[in-house]
Every structure is written in structure tokens, then in C-alpha cells.
């Protein structure tokens, strides 16, 4: 019987200091699976890695089940199989399919080609169509793509289409939401135990709700549109145990940058990343979303966080559909386990041009910057803006560089303009931002996270240095090919705006 | 290793195809193409595979009347890139307003393939301005090719530009999956680090049956990893054809 994968107390902890910690020994199995990351092992601070348990001999009675991880269980239930192991390919029933203005039209095109011009989607209530990428632009094709979505939704009588017609005033569009991954959560489409697929790499964000969520392409989406199913391969799971009280200068963004820096941009390729531990349990839903959001930046297939009271509380007023959470068995088998003592971590950045190019923020204090961008599914949620406001409030000074704020959704935008910031005597984020000299919060959308059409607000059209709360910093990501993007938490981004250099937020928070 | 997502009942690899075996490196790279690609208008490409279908119809390999000899090789000039080439470099986001299932826009996507590669590291460009297809039909890459976004525009742009096969050390998951699902580029994995063994401009032959890559310019041969799980899906013609064969979905509506 496979023994539990939870590491014993003899596991060592990750230590930030480069002169500590040697490599733990790898079992042949581990090295096979981790071989993807090896060449590009960015950091030598290796973590403790527990060797996977040896293969369990199948029981002859067939009635004893092997323990499964959360991801294995979710896929097993969704494929109506009692038992699944990593590597198996199964047809999975999809609970929610999401698409947006960039990939929707292509997916619809394939759906119609393959199933017929008059075909109907498998379930008009399980498709959620969210225009969010190229919205506030004069680019005709971008505008046309939203029209294509509308035509399809009308034709198919799609229940959830967050439409926008008046591009000049986002508030005039009652249905419009904004960034798809944040909207999915806010509108109650994320539920524990379910399978959510989306035509966007950051669909993994929804794993924060204890569900299987991953990104797919147009062709796969076209297939789901017609059948409600997809052939998926069960991924093995990497477990990340984070314990310790979260210091008040750290955010979930720092945690995931730490992890990606540790395992590299291909360290989790084809694998599931499971996040557990007391620190994770202390995180809010939005922070958990940030954590799962960047799973894809490590190559991960999906990320999961076990549902708990925090999850249920968040969902209370958002969904009335029943759901049943699933959890990893005690004797589930994990490929590897990493342990972190969060209290020892410091604010981080990912330097150009890779999300795994990890560095301490304080070690980059001589990097002069030209702008700061706070937005996106990764760092444009309500709590992200509250965090940035906290730093501006603590400083009381004005920013030294243009600071762009792009709330992810209409709800976030409203929160920015209405929620009081703790310790400010009743000021809202927007007031604090205004006093700090930031740009006026913009219309909610994906914005300049991925560059976009040339007239996109805050797009980087010159070779500049930007600190951003977004998720990727490959060459050209925000527009200009020679642009340099430092990925950071909202705390670090705000601190950097105040100094004009990459800055550790402890300069202001302590 | 980047494994495919489709179950393997057998490992026979064959790709049904129309082949025009003129192996002149200077000639059009579109000689040996996976038929699932939207055929180019014939005025545009003088040596093209038989355009059996209008651009709006679907994966030809699925059609019972699609008669073609299985291709067992790719031949052409290669373009070499390094590690972690992400989707923004393959097709920058500003071009994503182009819808791949629209034939005119499919063609345009091809013209922007790999335009995001920084000039300093890649002074020899994959496409020169104004072209819709590249003279390079084989892409050789390092680790984690196609990382980043799930945008299917990435393998589509490469396919539209005339890339027949990618030989990478390893792939990012979604890109690999999209390549197989669409059939736009044949995703192969190398045993060795070919991005350091081959140079842009080398003349290459890939023998699928033998899992072999031959570099005619250097005279060296390299073993490729067997296609494995994806074999049946590619052979069937992508996920739709595979599903029809498996009885998961009914025959295509005409």
C-alpha cells in the first residue's frame, strides 16, 4: 500500500540565503519527472524533495483503492471512473467552459465547422462568455470579435454573456464584467470539485476554489462546445506545503514567485500543483486566486487549494448550484513535496525576461524604473488595490513615475471607489491613489498586461522599465520588445512607484 | 518529458498527406503539409498540395474520401531558436484579433509568425517583411517551447507560415496539445539538444518512421523521441477525427 506522501518532520525548509541548503538526494523516479526543470534550474536553493513512494502492487481483490490526490479525484468523478492514476487519458465531463473575445470567435468557428452551422452548444447554461481582452480600443477587428460573440450568444441563447456595447463608458454596460478569471469567481461560476476549462492560460486561477481548472485552445474548446467533454490526461501532483504566519509585507504574489523561482518555468509542466499548509489556509480567496493564477508560469497544468470555510463563505452569496468538494486522500501519492517556512521569505520580483528570474526586491533597489502597472487577473483584484493603497497611505508621498491602475472588473472598480482603506480615516483607495498622484483608475479589462492593440491604455510603446503586478514578463509582453518588466506584488509595485526604483515594500510598511 | 494527452492504443505513426516530393531547398516550403491546414489559395502558392477543400471546411483527414499517401518525411530548411520561446514571441498579442478559423486572417497570422523574437538575439529573421510564408519549414527549439499563453494562434501562425514540423527538446503543455488538436505543426521531441547542434539555414530531413532527423548541411543524424500517445490522434487527423473514430461524436455534418 502506498504510504502517505506527506513529508516527515525531518524535511528541511527552504531558506532564502544562497549559502545554505544543499540539494537533497533525488530518487530515480523523482529525477525522471523533475528532469524537465533540471537544465534550467534557476536557483540552487533546493528545497527538500521527498521521493515518490514506490509503486503499489495492485490488490488482487480489486476492492482496495489507492489513495488519490484532489486532482485525480476530481477527474475521476468527472470521467465517472472509480479510480484514476496519473498518465491515464480520460474523457471528462466539463462543468463550465469559459471563453473571451480573443479566442471565442476562433472556437465558435471550429464549433460550427465541425458540428454544423446550425449546431447547438451542449448546454446553454454551462458556457460563460466574457469579453475582456481588447475592449476599450478603436481596433476594428477587436470590436468585431465582441460582435461575433454577441451574435453567437443571441443565436444560442447563452445564459451568461457579459456583454459590452458602449465602449466609451464601461459603466453604461450593466452586463459587462471585465477580466474573465476574476469575473468567473465573482459571478459564482467557480465551485469546489468541478471541472472548469477556459480558452485562456490563466484559467488555472479557479483552482483556488478546489476545482480542476485549466487552459485549452480553440480546437479543444470547439470540441467541448459540441460535446461537453474533453480528453484529458491525468497529471501527477506536486505538493507545496506553506506554513508559518504571513508577514505583513508579503502577499500571495511573493509566494508564487518564490515557487516559480524555485522550480523554473518548466518545473511543473504537465503537473498539478497543490497548495496546502497553515499559510494557505490563512489566505483570502483573492490571495488564493493569485497563487493559483501563476501555476501556468511554472508550466503547471492546474493548481488546487482545498476548499474550506473561507471558500464556503465566499461562495455563500454567489452561487446557488450545489457542489461537493473533494480532497486529497491521506494516502494519496504525490510526485514531490516542497516545504516552505513563510516567515523566512522576503518580498520578491521576477526580473526580465522570465517569471522564474527571481530576485529579492531589496537587491534590485538600484534598478531605475519608468512606470508602474497595477492590474490584471494576477494583481488587479480588490485586495490588490487595497494593498497598494496601504503602501501609499503609509508613505503619504507622491509617486515618482507614471502609475497605471486597471481594476480587473466593474466590481473591483466600484470597490476601489467605495471601500474604506483601513487606517485612513475613511478614505477610499481612489482617493489615496489620487493623492499619491497615480493615474485615474481605468476601465476594467485585461489592459496592457499583454500589450494588445496599439491604443491600449498603459501599453508599453517604448523600451521602458516597468514594475508590474501582472503574470508574464517575456520579451514584448506588454508591448515593446525591448521593454523590461519586473513582476511584483502590489506592495512592491506601490513602493517602487514611490521611489522610482525597484523597492522592497518594507521601506514603507515597517 | 512533455507527454501528449491522448491515449495510445498503438504506436504506429503515419500521417495521411498529399506529397509533392520536390526536395529543392529553395522551393516552396509548403510541399509536404499536414492536410488539416487550411490550404492556401492556389494563386498564392504555385507548388501546393492539392487544395481539396474550401477554407471553411474542416480537418480533411477525417473525410473518408480523402485519399492520400501517408507522409513519412519532412524536408526543408530549418530555423533555430533557444529555450523558453513563449507564445508572445511566436505571435505577439496585438495580432490576436485575427481569428484563425477565418481563412484570410489565418493567412495574415502566418505573416507575423515569430515576429516577437528579439532582434538582438535573432538577427536572421524567420520572415522577411511582406511575406506570408517563410522559407524555413522546420523549426528547431530548446526547452519548454511554446510556454505562456493558451492561444491557439501560436501553432496556427507557425503552420500558416509554412512550418511543417517543430523539433523541440521539450514543450509547454498547452502549445503541444494545441499542435496535436489542430494538426497545424507536427510536434516532435529530440533526444539531444538540437538547438545547439543545428544552425538556422541547415537543410534537414525528418524521417518519421525511423524517428530520425538528418542534417544534410552538417552531415549528422539525430534520434528523435517516438511520437507516442499522440500518434493515434495525429493519424486520425486531430481530436475531432479521433473522437469520431472512437465513436464519441457522430460523423461530421456536411
A150-188 residue pLDDT tens: 999 999 999 999 999 999 999 999 999 999 999 999 999
Residue at which a domain ends, from A319, A346, A373: A346
Q: A373 and A334, same structural domain?
A: no
The whole-number pLDDT of residue B253 equals 56
Residue A399 placed within a domain: yes
Higher-pLDDT residue of B66 and A232 is A232
- Helix (H) and strand (E) counts for chain B? 7, 11
CA distance A242 to B122: 41
Q: Check CB contact under 8 Å for B174 and A217.
A: yes
* In the predicted structure, residue B25 carries a pLDDT above the cut 60: no
Average pLDDT over residues B107-114: 96
The whole-number pLDDT of residue A262 equals 96
Instruction: Please name the member of B86, B97, B229 whose beta carbon is closest to the beta carbon of A139.
Output: B97
Q: A155 and A272, same structural domain?
A: yes
Higher-pLDDT residue of A65 and B238 is B238
pLDDT grade for B232, boundaries at 50, 70 and 90: confident
Instruction: Please name the member of A142, A218, A220 whose beta carbon is closest to the beta carbon of B100.
Output: A218
Instruction: Compute the nearest-CA separation of B135 from chain A (Å).
Output: 24
| A117 C-beta neighbours (distance < 10 Å), count | 9
The whole-number pLDDT of residue B12 equals 32
Per-window interface: B 161-220 vs A, CB < 8 A: 170, 172-174, 177-178, 181-182
Q: A332 and A387, same structural domain?
A: no
* pLDDT 10s digits, A313-371: 999 999 999 999 999 999 999 999 999 999 999 999 999 999 999 999 999 999 999 99
Q: Enter the pTM of the model.
A: 0.83
Q: A133 and A244, same structural domain?
A: yes
Residue A381 placed within a domain: yes
The whole-number pLDDT of residue A97 equals 98
pLDDT grade for B220, boundaries at 50, 70 and 90: very high
Tell me, what CATH number does A79's domain have?
Answer: 3.30.499.10
Residue A137 placed within a domain: yes
Q: Is B22 on the interface with A (CB under 8 A)?
A: no
Q: Check CB contact under 8 Å for A109 and B174.
A: no
Instruction: Please name the member of B93, B116, B181 whose beta carbon is closest to the beta carbon of A217.
Output: B181
Q: A386 and A310, same structural domain?
A: no
Instruction: Compute the nearest-CA separation of B209 from chain A (Å).
Output: 25
Which cell numbers in the block locate residue A469? 503586478
Q: A317 and A284, same structural domain?
A: yes
Which SS3 state, helix, strand or coil, does residue A83 take?
A: coil
Mutate to test the interface with A, among B83, B181, B194 (most CBs of A within 10 A): B181
In chain B, where are the structural domains located?
Answer: 73-225
Q: Is A203 exposed, middle or buried (0-12, 13-18, 19+ CB in 10 A)?
A: buried
Residue A8 placed within a domain: no
Q: In what order do the strands lie in the sheet with A371-375?
A: A358-360, A348-350, A484-488, A465-468, A371-375, A403-406
Q: A371 and A310, same structural domain?
A: no
CA distance B147 to A470: 16
The whole-number pLDDT of residue A410 equals 98
Q: What angle do CA A160, A162, A168 make, to 5 degrees?
A: 165
Q: A109 and A150, same structural domain?
A: yes
Residue A4 placed within a domain: no
Residue A3 placed within a domain: no
Task: Extract the residue ranges of chain A whose pLDDT is less than 70.
Answer: 1-64
Q: A244 and A97, same structural domain?
A: yes
Architecture of domain B73-225: Alpha-Beta Barrel (3.20)
DSSP letter string, A149-183: HHHHHHHHT-SEE-----TT-GGG-SS--BSHHHH
The whole-number pLDDT of residue B246 equals 85
Residue at which a domain ends, from A346, A375, A405: A346
Per-window interface: B 97-156 vs A, CB < 8 A: 97-102, 105, 116-119, 143-144, 147-153
Q: Is B139 exposed, middle or buried (0-12, 13-18, 19+ CB in 10 A)?
A: buried
CA distance B106 to B108: 5
The whole-number pLDDT of residue B226 equals 86
* In the predicted structure, residue B126 carries a pLDDT above the cut 50: yes
Average pLDDT over residues B100-110: 95
Q: Cα–chain-centroid distance for residue A387?
A: 18
How many domains would you assign to chain A?
A: 2
A35: which chain B residues are within 8 Å (Cβ-Cβ)? 1
CA distance B209 to B11: 11
The whole-number pLDDT of residue A64 equals 56
Residue A2 placed within a domain: no
Rg (CA), chain A: 22
Q: A265 and A406, same structural domain?
A: no
Q: A330 and A446, same structural domain?
A: no
The whole-number pLDDT of residue B60 equals 36
* In the predicted structure, residue B123 carries a pLDDT above the cut 80: yes
Q: Check CB contact under 8 Å for B3 and A102.
A: no
Instruction: Compute the nearest-CA separation of B253 from chain A (Å).
Output: 6
Q: What angle do CA B54, B56, B62 make, to 5 degrees?
A: 80
The whole-number pLDDT of residue B245 equals 87
Return the exposure string of A234-243: e unless at least 16 CB atoms fall within 10 Å of the residue's CB, then b: bbbbbbbbbb
Average pLDDT over residues B191-195: 96
Residue at which a domain ends, from A324, A346, A368: A346
Decide if B116 contacts B56 (C-beta within 8 A): no
Q: A311 and A206, same structural domain?
A: yes
Per-window interface: A 122-161 vs B, CB < 8 A: 133-134, 139, 141-142, 144-145, 148
Residue A37 placed within a domain: no
Nearest alpha-carbon partner for A371 in A446, A478, A453: A478
Q: Is A98 exposed, middle or buried (0-12, 13-18, 19+ CB in 10 A)?
A: buried
Q: Which domain holds residue A122?
A: 14-26+43-50+66-346
Q: Check CB contact under 8 Å for A109 and B58.
A: no
Amino acid at each position: 500500500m502506498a504510504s502517505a506522501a506527506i513529508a516527515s518532520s525531518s524535511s528541511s525548509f527552504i531558506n532564502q540565503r544562497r549559502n545554505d541548503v544543499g540539494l537533497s538526494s533525488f530518487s530515480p523516479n523523482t529525477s525522471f519527472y523533475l528532469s524537465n526543470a533540471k537544465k534550467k534550474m534557476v536557483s540552487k536553493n533546493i528545497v527538500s524533495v521527498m521521493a515518490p513512494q514506490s509503486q503499489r502492487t495492485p490488490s488482487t481483490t480489486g476492492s482496495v483503492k489507492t489513495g488519490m490526490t484532489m486532482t485525480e479525484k476530481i477527474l475521476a468523478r468527472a470521467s465517472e471512473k472509480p479510480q484514476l492514476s496519473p498518465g491515464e487519458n480520460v474523457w471528462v465531463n466539463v462543468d463550465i467552459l469559459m471563453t473571451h473575445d480573443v479566442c471565442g470567435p476562433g472556437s465558435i468557428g471550429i464549433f460550427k465547422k465541425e458540428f454544423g452551422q446550425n449546431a447547438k452548444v451542449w448546454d446553454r447554461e454551462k458556457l460563460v462568455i466574457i469579453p475582456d481582452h481588447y475592449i476599450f480600443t478603436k481596433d476594428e477587428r477587436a470590436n468585431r470579435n465582441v460582435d461575433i460573440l454577441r451574435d453567437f450568444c443571441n443565436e444560442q441563447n447563452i445564459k451568461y454573456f457579459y456583454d459590452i456595447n458602449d465602449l466609451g463608458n464601461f459603466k453604461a454596460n450593466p452586463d459587462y464584467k471585465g477580466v474573465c478569471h476574476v469575473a468567473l469567481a465573482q459571478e459564482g461560476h467557480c465551485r469546489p470539485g468541478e471541472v472548469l476549462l477556459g480558452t485562456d492560460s490563466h484559467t488555472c486561477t479557479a483552482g483556488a476554489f478546489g476545482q480542476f481548472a485549466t487552459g485549452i485552445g480553440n480546437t479543444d474548446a470547439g470540441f467541448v462546445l459540441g460535446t461537453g467533454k474533453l480528453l484529458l490526461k491525468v497529471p501527477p501532483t506536486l505538493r507545496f506545503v506553506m506554513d508559518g504566519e504571513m508577514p505583513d509585507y508579503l502577499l500571495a504574489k511573493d509566494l508564487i514567485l518564490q515557487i516559480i523561482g524555485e522550480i523554473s518555468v518548466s518545473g511543473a509542466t504537465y503537473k498539478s500543483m497543490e497548495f496546502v499548509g497553515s499559510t494557505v489556509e490563512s489566505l483570502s480567496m483573492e490571495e488564493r486566486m493569485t497563487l493559483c493564477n501563476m501555476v501556468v508560469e511554472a508550466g503547471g497544468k492546474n493548481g488546487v487549494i482545498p476548499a474550506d470555510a473561507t471558500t464556503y463563505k465566499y461562495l455563500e452569496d454567489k452561487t446557488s448550484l450545489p457542489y461537493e468538494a473533494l480532497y486529497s486522500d491521506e494516502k494519496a501519492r504525490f510526485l514531490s513535496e516542497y516545504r516552505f517556512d513563510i516567515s523566512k521569505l522576503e518580498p520578491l520580483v521576477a526580473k526580465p525576461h522570465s517569471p522564474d528570474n527571481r530576485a529579492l526586491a531589496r537587491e534590485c533597489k538600484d534598478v531605475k524604473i519608468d512606470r508602474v502597472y497595477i492590474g490584471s487577473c494576477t494583481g488587479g483584484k480588490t485586495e490588490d488595490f487595497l494593498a497598494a493603497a496601504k503602501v501609499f497611505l503609509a508613505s503619504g508621498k507622491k509617486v515618482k513615475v507614471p502609475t497605471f491602475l486597471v481594476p480587473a472588473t466593474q466590481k473591483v472598480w466600484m470597490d476601489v471607489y467605495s471601500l474604506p482603506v483601513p487606517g485612513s480615516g475613511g478614505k477610499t483607495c481612489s482617493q489615496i491613489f489620487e493623492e499619491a498622484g497615480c493615474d485615474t483608475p481605468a476601465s476594467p479589462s485585461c489592459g496592457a498586461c499583454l500589450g494588445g492593440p496599439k491604443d491600449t491604455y498603459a501599453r508599453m510603446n517604448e523600451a521602458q522599465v516597468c514594475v508590474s503586478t501582472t503574470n508574464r514578463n517575456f520579451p514584448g509582453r506588454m508591448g515593446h520588445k525591448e521593454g523590461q518588466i519586473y513582476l511584483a506584488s502590489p506592495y512592491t509595485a506601490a513602493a517602487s512607484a514611490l521611489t522610482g526604483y525597484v523597492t522592497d515594500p518594507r521601506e514603507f510598511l515597517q | 518529458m512533455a507527454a501528449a494527452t491522448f491515449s495510445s492504443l498503438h504506436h504506429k505513426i503515419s500521417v495521411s498527406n498529399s506529397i509533392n516530393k520536390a526536395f529543392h531547398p529553395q522551393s516552396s516550403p509548403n510541399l509536404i503539409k499536414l492536410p488539416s491546414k487550411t490550404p492556401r489559395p492556389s494563386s498564392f502558392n504555385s507548388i501546393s498540395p492539392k487544395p481539396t477543400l474550401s477554407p471553411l471546411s474542416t480537418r480533411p483527414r477525417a473525410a473518408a474520401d480523402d485519399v492520400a499517401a501517408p507522409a513519412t518525411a519532412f524536408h526543408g530548411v530549418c530555423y533555430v531558436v533557444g529555450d523558453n520561446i513563449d507564445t508572445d514571441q511566436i505571435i505577439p498579442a496585438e495580432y490576436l484579433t485575427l481569428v484563425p478559423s477565418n481563412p484570410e486572417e489565418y493567412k495574415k497570422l502566418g505573416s507575423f509568425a515569430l515576429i516577437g523574437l528579439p532582434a538582438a538575439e535573432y538577427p536572421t529573421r524567420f520572415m522577411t517583411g511582406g511575406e506570408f510564408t517563410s522559407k524555413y519549414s522546420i523549426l528547431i527549439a530548446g526547452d519548454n517551447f511554446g510556454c505562456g499563453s493558451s492561444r491557439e494562434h501560436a501553432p496556427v501562425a507557425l503552420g500558416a507560415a509554412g512550418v511543417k514540423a517543430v523539433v523541440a527538446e521539450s514543450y509547454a503543455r498547452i502549445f503541444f496539445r494545441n499542435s496535436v488538436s489542430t494538426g497545424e505543426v507536427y510536434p516532435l521531441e529530440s533526444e539531444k539538444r538540437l538547438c545547439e547542434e543545428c544552425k538556422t539555414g541547415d537543410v534537414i530531413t525528418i524521417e518519421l518512421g525511423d524517428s530520425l532527423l538528418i542534417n544534410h548541411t552538417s552531415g549528422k543524424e539525430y534520434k528523435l523521441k517516438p511520437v507516442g500517445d499522440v500518434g493515434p490522434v495525429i493519424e486520425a487527423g486531430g481530436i475531432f477525427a479521433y473522437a469520431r473514430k472512437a465513436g464519441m461524436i457522430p460523423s461530421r455534418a456536411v
